[in-house]
Chain A
Amino acid sequence: MARQVPLLLASLAAIFLIAPMAIIVPMSFSKAISFEFPPPGYWTGYYAQYFSSHSWLEATANSFIIAFASMALTLIAALPAAFGFVRYRFHGKSMLNLVMMLPIIVPAVVSALGYYSFLSPLRLVGTHAGMIVAHSVLSIPVAFLVVAAALKGFDRNLERAAMSAGAGPLRTFLWVTLPVLRPAILVGALFAFLHSFNEAVVAIFIAGRDASTLPKKMFESIRLESDPVIAVVSTLLTGAVLLGVLISLLFRQRPPRGERYAA
């Protein structure tokens, strides 16, 4: 009986995590105009409203454009940096390593204020370019951490074997190093994408009307009016994330020594 106590407590915590998000799903089919649960009736009218609303669709498109562009820029900066930090020793390394972490250390509201003051004189507030710049930099540590962790576990004998078999440095990198690291790079890219896609605070300060993303539009809709479309967007986003999590589970490697953990 006492053995079941951890499981019971863990289940309560898991319910606490999931139940609130599960409530959003029936809400999205509700006929109520404001937050009302249980819903007085069900329909799909607010889904139709979302798919015909110019401003919601524009925010959705902006979210994707900004997340994709910043993901690409983030990778260009973070990938070489991961190699530099993991494989080389150089002067000032530990200090620069802290610099690399700054974007996830500084509270978002401080970065948001900074970007607003910094981008205003450049006339980049309320533009896609401004958002892409800010989100790219904010995601650098995220992608960097993922790739650097994989590089630390990389068996360099693979490269030595390729070299001794006659491959040059470039060929070794393209045919051995990169393929081994591909999963980590993909995960790093996904993390960078989601970091931008979910980011709300900097967006609230600098996205303006034209570059408004979904989190920003949702935040403002919640504060100003209780637009029932928010429940629809929330359901769609949660559904997309659930799909992603389930797919990543399918590709998950079995943990090493897995059987020994089955207590």
Chain B
Amino acid sequence: MQAGLRRGLPSRDGLTAWLLVAPAVLCITVLFIVPIGYVLLLSVTDPTVSLDHYRRFFTVPLYANVMVNTFRTSLIVTLACLALGYPLAYVMARRNDAVAVVFLVAVGLSFWTGFVVRTYAWLIILGNKGPLAATYALAGWGKPPQLLFTSFSSTLGMTHVLLPYMVLALYGVMRKIDPSYMRAAEGLGARPFGAFRLVFLPLSLPGIVNGCVLVFTMCLGFYITPILLGTPKDMMISQLISQQIEDLLAWGFASAIAVVLLACTLVLLAVYNRFAGLDRLWG
């Protein structure tokens, strides 16, 4: 940073640029990177200076299970979001009528309503006095299976909560695909599905990558939904962190787990950054 400042000084432009970006960069450095540094510090100093927390995390099978479960759940949620989100974004991008507007309102409403509110809805739906249980009783099937507080409810809830992110990532890319390409393909004899597979799908690929990276990384560290809907039997990383703090007051170990989570996220995004440039992730 020092070198950059010195090299920037001779030109007036360089100095102006530095003055413009300095407030934000300084804020983030002092009030964000430093706090993250505290987590790093705590993970190797609380209660004593050692790497024991990391050794424990990487040797105890229980924690390996948590990692595997976190990655597996994130993968399932990402694929479910893609399967649900792709047709939705496709219709929104290709149509310009009332249907597209209704879908846009649905996605916008979900996107801007907080995670807690939307997770709460699933507590009602899957609860033992909820509409699902009522349907079972009405159909005479007796008691429904236990759905709430399982890894199923947690996965379902996260899919619901993260779906708008996938749709908006896809929509941003699909909207820029010129519809005349599809018409050209059809005019040259391609069937509708062929035109989609050979023209539209490849052009929408950057949106698929963006949406998947966004949803997967958000899911890895997701806190609210797994804690409210999930089960301690199939924990995700965030549940483990919460349990260590609330039940055991083990701040040092919780910090070490948080550092591992951060490292996983940063590695994934670094790979994305290498190939696509991080700027494009948020379109």
Q: Which A residues contact B (CB, under 8 angstroms)?
A: 2-3, 6-7, 9-10, 12-14, 16-18, 20-21, 23-24, 27, 32, 34-38, 76-78, 80-81, 83-85, 87-92, 96-115, 117-119, 133-134, 136-138, 140, 144-145, 194, 197-198, 200-201, 204, 215, 218-219, 222-223, 230-231, 233-234, 237-238, 241-242, 244-246, 248-249, 255, 258-263
Contacts and interface: CB of A to CB of B under 8 A. Distances in A.
Given A81-B24, A88-B13, A20 B164 contact: no
Interface stretch (B56-64, B115-123, B201-209): B115-123
A245 B108 CA distance: 6
B104 A88 contact: no
Nearest to B100: A261
B129 A102 contact: no
16 contacts: A9-B87, A13-B88, A14-B107, A21-B113, A37-B125, A84-B16, A99-B28, A107-B258, A107-B262, A108-B221, A114-B32, A140-B24, A218-B120, A238-B109, A258-B96, A262-B95
Given A17-B160, A84-B21, A3 B192 contact: yes
Interface residues of B, number: 105
B23 A77 contact: yes
B282 A145 contact: yes
Given A35-B129, A241-B113, A20 B160 contact: yes
A111 B27 CA distance: 14
A17 B118 CA distance: 9
Contacts of A263: 94-95, 179, 182
B96 A262 contact: yes
Given A83-B20, A109-B258, A34 B27 contact: no
A20 B121 contact: yes
> Which secondary structure dominates where chain B touches chain A?
helix
A10 B121 contact: no
Nearest to A83: B20
A261 B223 contact: no
B3 A249 contact: no
Interface string B1-35: 10110011000011011111101110111011111
B265 interface: yes
B117 A237 contact: yes
B80 to A, nearest CB: 10
Interface stretch (B36-44, B47-55, B139-147): B36-44
A76 B112 contact: no
Given A98-B278, A200-B116, A77 B24 contact: yes
A114 B97 contact: no
B254 interface: yes
B121 A85 contact: no
Contacts of B266: 105
A245 B99 CA distance: 16
Contacts, number: 295
Given A14-B88, A37-B130, A255-B96, A110 B117 contact: no
Contacts of A113: 39, 42, 241, 251, 254-255, 258
Given A2-B192, A21-B118, A108 B269 contact: no
Contacts of A215: 114-116
A104 B221 CA distance: 12
Nearest to B27: A77
Given A18-B109, A249-B101, A114 B36 contact: yes
Contact of B25 (A91, A96, A114): A96
Give me the 5 closest cross-chain CB pairs, A-B, nearest first. Answer: A107-B221, A84-B20, A114-B35, A88-B17, A9-B87
A138 to B, nearest CB: 8
B116 A118 contact: no
A7 B129 CA distance: 33
B110 interface: yes
B216 to A, nearest CB: 12
B164 A76 contact: no
Given A35-B127, A91-B4, A100-B24, A219 B228 contact: yes
A56 B230 CA distance: 26
A128 B117 CA distance: 23
Contact of B29 (A83, A99, A219, A249): A99
B162 to A, nearest CB: 11
Interface string B121-160: 1111101011100100000000000000000000000001
